[in-house]
Amino acid sequence: MQNVTLNNGVEMPVLGFGVYQIPPEETERAVSDALAAGYRSLDTAAAYGNEEAVGRAIRSSGIPRQDLFVTTKLWVSDAGEEKAARAFDTSLRKLGLDHLDLYLIHQPYGDVYGSWRALEALRGEGLVRAIGVSNFHGDRLVDLIDHNEITPAVNQVETHPFHQRASDQALMRERGVQIESWGPFAEGRNNLFSHPALGGIAAAHGKSVAQVVLRWLVERGVVVIPKSVRPERMAENLDVFDFELTPDEMAAVAALDTGESLFFDHRDPAMVARLGTHVLGD
C-alpha cells in the first residue's frame, strides 16, 4: 500500500475502505471482509449510523490498532465547540477506540469555527492524529485556514472522472491540504462502468474500469475510499498498484471532466437548508 504524508507528518494510506450507505446490519461483515482483503484505512461518519458496527469489526479482526487508520466525521447538528467535543466522545465510544487517526467536519455549515476550535483542542490532547474537513469549496477552505491556527490536513470532496476537481486540488496542494475522493465511481452515473473511453483503457491493461478509475486517482495523488459489499470487488479495488496509465490515457480520462457535480451543489440554498437542519436520528 502506498501512503501520502499529511501536513503534520502523519502518514495515510492512499486507498481505503468507505462504508457510506452500507446498512448498519451489513457493516460489520463488510468491514471484516475488507480488513481480511488487506484494507487498513476505514472511513465512516456519525451520519452513516454504522460506527458501532465498524468498531466491532475492528475488535474482532485482531489487527493491531497502530496498523489501522480510522476516520469518522462530525455532523452539522453537532457543530459548535462544546457540542463537537461531545460528539467526538460519542463517536470514539461507538467505535470502541482510544483515539482517531482523522476527524473531519462533514459539511461546511453551522458553527464551523467553533467546531474547528474543538478539533484543534482534540488534536492537541492527542485524541486525534489529524483533523480536516469535507465538502469545503475553495473559498470556505481558504477562509478557515486564514483565520485559524491549524490548517486542515484533508478535504474530502466528490472527485471522479466526470467531476475531477483539478483546480480545487491545485489550491489544496498550494495550501498544504490533501484531497480525498468520495464517490470515486460516481455511483455508476453517466454509465461510468460501460464508458467506452474507460473500457478501452481497462482492456489495454487487462483491468476493470473500476481499477482504471482508482489508478487514475492514485496517480493524481488523490486519496480514495471505494465502497463495496462484495469481497471479490474489495480485492479487485486493492489491486491497482501493478500498472500505470500512460500520458495519453491520463489525458483521455481528463477529457471526461464536466466540471459539475453529479450529486448536488453544496452552494445550492435548498441543499444548504436541507443538510444544515438535518439532525441525526431524524
Catalytic residue ranges: 48
Whether residue 266 contacts residue 158, with contact meaning beta carbons closer than 8 Å, is answered with no
3-state SS assignment for residue 216: helix
Q: Measuring CA to CA, how many Å separate 70 from each of 100, 129, 200?
A: 6, 10, 35
> In the 3-class helix/strand/coil scheme, how is 9-43 assigned residue by residue?
CCEEECECEECCCCCHHHHHHHHHHHHHHCCCEEE
Distance CA 3, CA 12 (A): 5
The C-alpha cell that represents 280 in the structure block: 441525526
